[in-house]
Amino acid sequence: MTRKLLELKNISYKAKSGIHLDNLSFDIMHGESTLIFGPEESGISELFDIIIKVTKDYEGEVFYKDKNIGQFRHQELLEYKKDIGYVHGNYGLLSNMTVKQNIALPLDYHTDLSEEEVEIFVETVAVLLKLTHCLDERPFDLTASEILRTAFARSIVLDPDLLYIEHAFENHCRMNIKVIIEFLRERSLRNDKSLILINYSPENYIDLVDKYIMLYDGRIVFQGTTENFLSTDNPYVVQYKKNSLEGPIVIS
Amino acid sequence: MIVKLISFFGSRTCSYGAAIADFSSFIMSIVNSFKYLKKVRFRTYYEVIINQTIFTGVNALIIVASIALLAGGTVIIQALTSLPKFGVEGFLGNLLVIIIARELGPLLTALIVISRSGSAIATEISVQKWSKEILSMELIGIDTRLFIVLPRVIASVISICGLIIIFDIVAFLGGYLISQTVVYISLDQFGQTLINAFTFKDIGAAFLKGTLFGITIPVICCYYGLKPVSKFEIPIYVSKAVMRTLFVTIILNIMVSIMFYV
């Protein structure tokens, strides 16, 4: 866990909505699992758009595997995005495709695997995530956790080095997504695969992540290991854990 | 009053200018994506092309054939009853080729495709954008400009060219059959006048129109499909997609006719 996978350097950005990021810097190392949390409008939602260069009018630099993504051209950017598995709260499954086609899409598009090999690969992932019973169904026929598991399966089939899960586990029973958590736990043991988990309930993932970052008002107000997170007397973290309205965090 | 008028027309001109610049940058982004076409694995495109061709071409056959039959019948009845009055019945074939093959066939086919497939493309894409399906594709590293636009353009060109041929055949043959209820003309005579009137120029013009319509309809509809940023805007942009495609199609039809026949 010594090499940097992702590095954000002095990122400042102001969105039209007024949400801003103020000189934000942090690193994600190879093999590191990080949970980023904070209240709404703390700037967390803007992070991913900057990391994948959807937002371009920011100050500062983003490096991925020591390469400045600001200098990526069209094809390099596509290759870079392919290297990041992303699951968001809306899941984004293609509604005109079946579960099998949704999972197979990245493999069909990016690899030279034959049709049979893709099928075997998809079935292996489907077994792992308990999706075999609904492989031929379309997203509107699925339950909420099946939709999440399909979106998750699609994000991992290319075995990305960085997995970015943004508010995807909210509103899910932990029992229904246990297979995903187990997969992430096993994955976190590998020293070449990193995870960024965005979640409003950081205390639920202490056994899954190594590092916590808390954002508030576009700034990092806490950064530390899981032990630090559990024992800190940082007033922002304390207020957040207590769910209290009294403290340095002002909720408008 | 004058200031208000100047301000109104000024702002309208500026907004049209901005819209044209935005559309041009959309076209440029597609052209840029074409540079990386050799890296694309086409197996992901096949199913989209087949589905789009079935929807735009095969499923539209009945409505295209019906309209061709009615349009052909009307033109032939009018021609057969009116031309003799002016003593120019010998020009029947030429008139049919001019009206049906050169103009009505491509234009009516395009109008049917716009109202069926154009609106469907704009709606499908705007819903996909709203539900973040397009964002998800981009995050898989898919070049969405190519993935969304290219299969629809290919399917649309194939479908429209095919539908124009079918339109013309049904309009001529069906129209001939309908006309038999009004006036008699032998099939041999009818066929011979058509063959004499047809030139390669007519076939070339029809295919050029089909190809241009096949490109512009999905491109404009995709452009407007990608515009909405909220659910509320979807019907607004679908309506814009249909109206502007219609307008561009008619302009293109005139331009090709001028290019070939003036």
| Distance from the A231 Cα atom to the nearest Cα atom in chain B, whole angstroms | 37
Q: Name which residue leads in pLDDT, A56 or A193.
A: A193
| Distance from the A17 Cα atom to the nearest Cα atom in chain B, whole angstroms | 14
For residue B86, CA distances in Å to B92, B104, B181, B192 come to: 12, 23, 22, 21
In this complex, do B41 and A52 lie within 8 Å of one another by their Cβ atoms? no
In degrees and rounded to multiples of 5, residue B199 shows phi and psi of -125, 165
Mean pLDDT calculated for residue range A100-109 = 92
User: pLDDT-based confidence at B63, cuts 50/70/90?
Assistant: very high
Let me know: does A69 contact A63? Beta carbons within 8 Å.
yes
| CB-side neighbour CA atoms (13 Å) of A19 | 13
User: pLDDT-based confidence at A92, cuts 50/70/90?
Assistant: confident
Nearest to A78 among B43, B127, B143 (CB): B143
Query: Can you give the pLDDT at residue B184?
Result: 76
| Neighbour count for residue B10 (Cβ, 10 Å) | 10
In this complex, do B39 and A75 lie within 8 Å of one another by their Cβ atoms? yes
Output the CA torsion sign for B165, B166, B168, B173: positive
3-state secondary structure of A88: strand
Architecture of the domain spanning A86-159 = Orthogonal Bundle (1.10)
β-pair type (A33-37, A20-29): unpaired
End-to-end C-alpha distance for chain A, whole angstroms: 39
* B27: pLDDT strictly greater than 70: yes
CA–CA dist A98, B39 (Å, integer): 25
3-state secondary structure of A57: coil
* B104 shares its domain with B21: no
* B95 shares its domain with B24: no
In this complex, do A105 and B41 lie within 8 Å of one another by their Cβ atoms? no
B141 lies within 8 A of chain A by CB: yes
* B39: pLDDT strictly greater than 80: no
Whose CA is closest to A12, among A218, A221, A222?
A218
- To 10 degrees, what angle do helices B119-130 and B200-225 make? 30
Residue ranges of B 213-242 with Cβ closer than 8 A to chain A:
none
Task: Output helix, strand, coil percentages for chain B, rounded to the nearest 5.
Answer: 90, 0, 10
Enumerate the residues of chain A whose CB falls inside 8 A of the CB of residue B43.
108, 115
Instruction: Please tell me what DSSP assigns to residue A210.
Output: S
In this complex, do B36 and A75 lie within 8 Å of one another by their Cβ atoms? yes
Mean pLDDT calculated for residue range B32-44 = 79
CA–CA dist B177, A119 (Å, integer): 53
| Distance from the B30 Cα atom to the nearest Cα atom in chain A, whole angstroms | 12
* B6 shares its domain with B102: no
In this complex, do A105 and B135 lie within 8 Å of one another by their Cβ atoms? no
| Neighbour count for residue B262 (Cβ, 10 Å) | 5
Closest residue of A to B43, CA-based?
A108
Determine the structural domain holding residue B24 and report its residue range: 1-35
Instruction: Please tell me what DSSP assigns to residue A204.
Output: G
Which H or E element spans position B96?
helix B92-96
Contacts of B98 (CB under 8 A, 6+ apart): none
DSSP B161-202: HHHHHHHHHHHHHHHHHHHTTTS---HHHHHHHHHHH--HHH
* B114 shares its domain with B131: yes
Let me know: does A24 contact A43? Beta carbons within 8 Å.
yes
CA–CA dist B55, B160 (Å, integer): 12
Flag the least confident range among A114-118, A122-126, B73-77. B73-77
In this complex, do B128 and A94 lie within 8 Å of one another by their Cβ atoms? yes
In this complex, do B128 and A74 lie within 8 Å of one another by their Cβ atoms? no
ipTM over 0.90: no
In degrees and rounded to multiples of 5, residue B24 shows phi and psi of -65, -40
Nearest to B43 among A54, A106, A108 (CB): A108
In this complex, do A95 and B128 lie within 8 Å of one another by their Cβ atoms? yes
User: A48, A109, A165: best mutation site toward chain B, by most B Cβ within 10 Å?
Assistant: A109
* B219 shares its domain with B168: yes
Enumerate the residues of chain A whose CB falls inside 8 A of the CB of residue B32.
74
* B6 shares its domain with B77: no
Structure tokens given for A36:
């980023």
Query: What tens digit of pLDDT does each residue of B118-166 get?
Result: 999 999 999 999 988 998 888 888 888 888 999 999 999 999 999 999 9
DSSP B28-39: HHHHHHHTTGGG
* A1: pLDDT strictly greater than 60: no
End-to-end C-alpha distance for chain B, whole angstroms: 44
Question: Quick one: residue A247, left, alpha or beta (phi over 0 = left, psi -120 to 50 = alpha)?
Answer: left
Nearest to B36 among A74, A81, A91 (CB): A74
B103 lies within 8 A of chain A by CB: no
Mean pLDDT calculated for residue range B52-69 = 93
Which H or E element spans position A63?
strand A59-64
Enumerate the residues of chain B whose CB falls inside 8 A of the CB of residue A54.
138
* B12 shares its domain with B95: no
User: A78, A80, A98, A112: best mutation site toward chain B, by most B Cβ within 10 Å?
Assistant: A78
Query: Can you give the pLDDT at residue B138?
Result: 87
Query: What tens digit of pLDDT does each residue of B181-194 get?
Result: 777 778 888 888 88
Whose CA is closest to B124, among B246, B234, B239, B248?
B234
Task: Output helix, strand, coil percentages for chain A, rounded to the nearest 5.
Answer: 35, 25, 40
* B11 shares its domain with B87: no
* B73 shares its domain with B16: no
Query: Can you give the pLDDT at residue A216?
Result: 93
CA–CA dist B54, B229 (Å, integer): 30
Number of H helices, E strands in chain A: 8, 10
* B54 shares its domain with B127: yes
In this complex, do B139 and A86 lie within 8 Å of one another by their Cβ atoms? yes
Closest residue of A to B136, CA-based?
A92
B32 lies within 8 A of chain A by CB: yes
B28 lies within 8 A of chain A by CB: no
Let me know: does A103 contact A153? Beta carbons within 8 Å.
yes
In degrees and rounded to multiples of 5, residue A27 shows phi and psi of -120, 150
For residue A158, CA distances in Å to A79, A105, B129, B143 come to: 12, 10, 23, 16
| Distance from the A72 Cα atom to the nearest Cα atom in chain B, whole angstroms | 13
Claim: this prediction has a pTM higher than 0.90: no
In this complex, do B133 and A105 lie within 8 Å of one another by their Cβ atoms? no
B24 lies within 8 A of chain A by CB: no
Q: Which residues, in sequence order, are bridge partners of residue A59?
A: A12
* B4 shares its domain with B110: no
Nearest to A109 among B44, B124, B139 (CB): B44
CA–CA dist A7, A24 (Å, integer): 10
Mean pLDDT calculated for residue range A243-252 = 87
